[in-house]
Structure 1
């Protein structure tokens, strides 16, 4: 994990910050996300039907479940000091190049694209976050993730 002072974050611009540990995407996580969002499509929940009929021969995680793990995974890659809060400010771009099968492992690769001082209290960082699938050729998710840091 990279630990950096907020004022020194700009020194890491245009570089790979690091990778998170691998996280397993369980069928239980997929079920909980389906219940929370109301998206109960069979490709996510019906294990037997997915084995028979889906192109992946397995149930797969919702794309937005995968994207929702970006903050959790990224906080294991970088620790920014000199702030009182980190706000998930949103996404500029979001793509899902490959499905995440139940039981697969993903990790975050973070690259710092930009750092902008918004005002005396706030600094906006733009990261390219790539969620890699262990053993996969394509990533599960690629996003420009925005983090607003509030100075302490």
Structure 2
């Protein structure tokens, strides 16, 4: 399923559209998330906070999708603070109450397939990148060595 189905679905449901500015957090570790956000336009970055307080970027997302779900999934596998932050000057989102979003998913097979397949892949990639960083403890030489071993 392509992202157009998701965007058209939300447009038909008249979901509100909001904008957030650069460096604004979409999700922040420790804060309860009441809404689900679907990126319509712009760039968001996913990141973890390292033990020394630095932010380590995991990925940049610039296509329509549901970046706020990533925090929930990644947080199941790690205690490292995981955040989603706006990376472009402005990003536009559909905002849907979480309960309503999951009602839609449970009632629409195509939406279920989208959430299951796309996010399984994205979450696996995000967790893999975080594990590499955690194993290497930020050491560039160790990362290069580990990546070399993966390739060969």
TM-score (norm 2): 0.25
TM-score (norm 1): 0.25
Between Structure 1 and Structure 2, which shows a larger proportion of strand residues? 1
